[in-house]
């Protein structure tokens, strides 16, 4: 069975989708068999726009698993937190369906990059947070951060939450494509977070996610 990595972010609009697509493309060029999956997609109907973005960045076209909806097992129409989007659409999230879809992908691929919705504490239902599902499945985390003002606080809070649940941090993905970041702050934030990882999460990798202009 392949390895499943859960891609989460320190906040909404931090660049999870871009980071997921970039890593999928990078690892494919290194000879690994990689596919991406969206845990729960909101704000769409029938097709996940995040999966579409992944495929665009990977440059490999639509997968058969996309046609079978294994990569986008749950889609809700309203652009909101999954718990609210599910309420508005009038149906429950089928977590068993998601779990089985992920397992099927892992049976066929070396790596599955499972992109979450928002951050770790985003509610999937009124009683289940994203991190609760993650703890149940024991997926190692790729945490997407950036150098925007305030990201140190959000990143450390996310890392503390991961540690409290006894989960593994596979990598911190530093999104250099975040247009809201100041260059001076971004450089200092990277230095600080690298030092923090070295002290408290020494096994975690640091991955720079380059700007779009640098993506090939």
What is d(CA 164, CA 102) in angstroms, rounded to the nearest whole number? 25
99 is catalytic: no
16 marked ligand binding residue: no
69 marked ligand binding residue: no
Q: Can you read off the two tokens belonging to residue 12?
A: 């909404």
* Residues 50-74 pLDDT 10s: 999 999 999 989 999 999 999 999 9
73 marked ligand binding residue: no
Q: Give residue 60's pLDDT.
A: 86
Which of 16, 25, 38, 53 is an active site residue?
38
Q: Give residue 214's pLDDT.
A: 43
Q: Above 70 in pLDDT, residue 130?
A: yes
Backbone angles phi, psi at 174, to 5 degrees: -95, 110
210 marked ligand binding residue: yes
* Residues 150-176 pLDDT 10s: 999 999 999 999 999 999 999 999 999
- Beta-strand relationship, 34-38 and 3-9: unpaired
52 marked ligand binding residue: no
42 marked ligand binding residue: yes
CATH number of 3-214: 3.40.50.300
Alpha-carbon distances of 165 from 105, 140, 159, 200, rounded to whole Å: 25, 11, 10, 15
Q: Can you read off the two tokens belonging to residue 157?
A: 């809070």
Q: pTM of the full predicted structure? A: 0.96
Q: Can you read off the two tokens belonging to residue 125?
A: 């239902």
What is d(CA 17, CA 75) in angstroms, rounded to the nearest whole number? 16
What is d(CA 38, CA 44) in angstroms, rounded to the nearest whole number? 12
Residue 153 burial class via C-beta count within 10 angstroms: exposed 0-12, middle 13-18, buried 19 and up:
exposed
In sequence order, which residues have a C-beta less than 8 Å from that of residue 89 and are 6 or more positions away? Answer: 76, 77, 78
Query: Which helix (H) or strand (E) segment is 36 a member of?
Result: strand 34-38
Domain layout of the chain by residue ranges:
3-214
From 76-80, 120-124, 176-180, 199-203, the region with the lowest mean pLDDT: 176-180
Q: Above 70 in pLDDT, residue 215?
A: no
């Amino acid at each position: 069975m392949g390895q499943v990595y859960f891609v989460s972010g320190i906040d909404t609009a931090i660049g999870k989708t871009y980071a997921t697509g970039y890593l999928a493309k990078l690892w494919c060029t290194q000879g690994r068999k990689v596919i991406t999956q969206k845990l729960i997609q909101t704000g769409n109907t029938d097709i996940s726009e995040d999966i579409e973005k992944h495929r665009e960045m990977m440059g490999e076209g639509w997968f058969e698993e996309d046609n079978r909806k294994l990569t986008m097992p749950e889609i809700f129409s309203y652009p909101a937190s999954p718990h609210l989007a599910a309420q508005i659409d009038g149906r429950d999230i089928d977590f068993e369906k998601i779990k089985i879809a992920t397992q099927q992908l892992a049976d066929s691929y070396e790596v599955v990059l499972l992109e979450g919705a928002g951050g770790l504490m985003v509610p999937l239902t009124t009683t289940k947070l994203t991190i609760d599902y993650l703890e149940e499945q024991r997926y190692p985390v790729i945490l997407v951060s950036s150098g925007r003002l305030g990201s140190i606080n959000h990143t450390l809070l996310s890392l503390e939450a991961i540690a409290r649940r006894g989960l593994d941090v596979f990598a911190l993905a530093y999104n250099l494509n975040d247009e809201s970041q100041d260059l001076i702050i971004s450089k200092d934030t990277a230095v600080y977070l690298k030092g923090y990882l070295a002290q408290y999460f020494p096994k975690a990798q640091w991955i720079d996610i380059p700007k779009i202009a640098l993506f090939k």
